Chain A
Amino acid sequence: MDPRIKRLDAFRLEIPPGYKQGMNGPAIVYADEAVAALIEPEALEQAANTATLPGLAGAALAMPDIHTGYGFPIGGVAAFDARDGVISPGGVGYDINCGVRLLASSLEAKDLAAGLEKLASALYARVPAGVGAGGGIRLGKRDREAPLLKGAAWAVERGFGRPEDLRRIESGGALPGADPGEVSGRALERGRDQLGTLGSGNHFLEVQEVTDVYDEAAARAYGLFKGQAAVMLHTGSRGLGHQVCTDFIEVMRRAAARYGIPLADQQLAAAPFRSTEGQRYFGAMQAAANYAWANRQALTALVREAFEAALGLGEAALGLRLVYDVAHNIAKFEEHKVDGEARKLIVHRKGATRAFAPGHPELPAAYAAAGQPVIIPGDMGRCSYVLAGTARAMKETFGSACHGAGRLMSRHEAVRRARGRRIADELAAKGIIVFSSGRETLSEEMPEAYKDVDAVVGVVAGAGIARRVARLRPLAVIKG
Chain B
Amino acid sequence: MSFSTFGTAGDAGIRAEADGLGPLLAELALGFAELSSPEHAEPVETRGLTLAAREPGELAVRFLNELVFLADSEGFLPAAAEAEVKAKDGGLELEATIKGEAAAFGRRARGLLVKAATYHGLKVKESGGRWTAEVVLDI
Contact = CB atoms under 8 A, between A and B. Distances in A.
A410 B8 contact: yes
Nearest to A194: B72
B20 interface: no
B115 A242 contact: yes
A446 B7 CA distance: 15
Interface residues of B, number: 36
Contacts of B111: 131, 438-440
B38 A439 contact: yes
Contacts of A200: 110, 112-113
B110 A411 contact: no
Contacts of B9: 40, 42-43, 67-68, 407, 410
Contact of A412 (B7, B62, B75, B105): B7
A62 B70 CA distance: 35
Contacts of A381: none
A201 B139 contact: yes
A267 B105 contact: no
A201 B112 contact: yes
Interface stretch (B23-31, B42-50, B117-125): B117-125
Contact of A70 (B12, B105, B110, B118): B118
A413 B8 CA distance: 9
Interface residues of A, number: 45
A412 B139 CA distance: 12
B73 interface: yes
Interface string A403-428: 00001001111000000000000000
Interface in B98-139: 104-106, 109-113, 115-116, 118-120, 122, 136, 138-139
A239 B10 contact: no
A250 B106 CA distance: 32
Interface in A275-312: none
9 contacts: A94-B116, A95-B115, A200-B113, A201-B112, A239-B115, A242-B72, A410-B8, A411-B7, A439-B110
Interface of A: 40, 42-43, 67-71, 74, 93-95, 130-133, 186, 189-190, 192, 199-201, 239, 242-243, 245-246, 249-250, 253, 265-267, 407, 410-413, 437-440, 444, 480
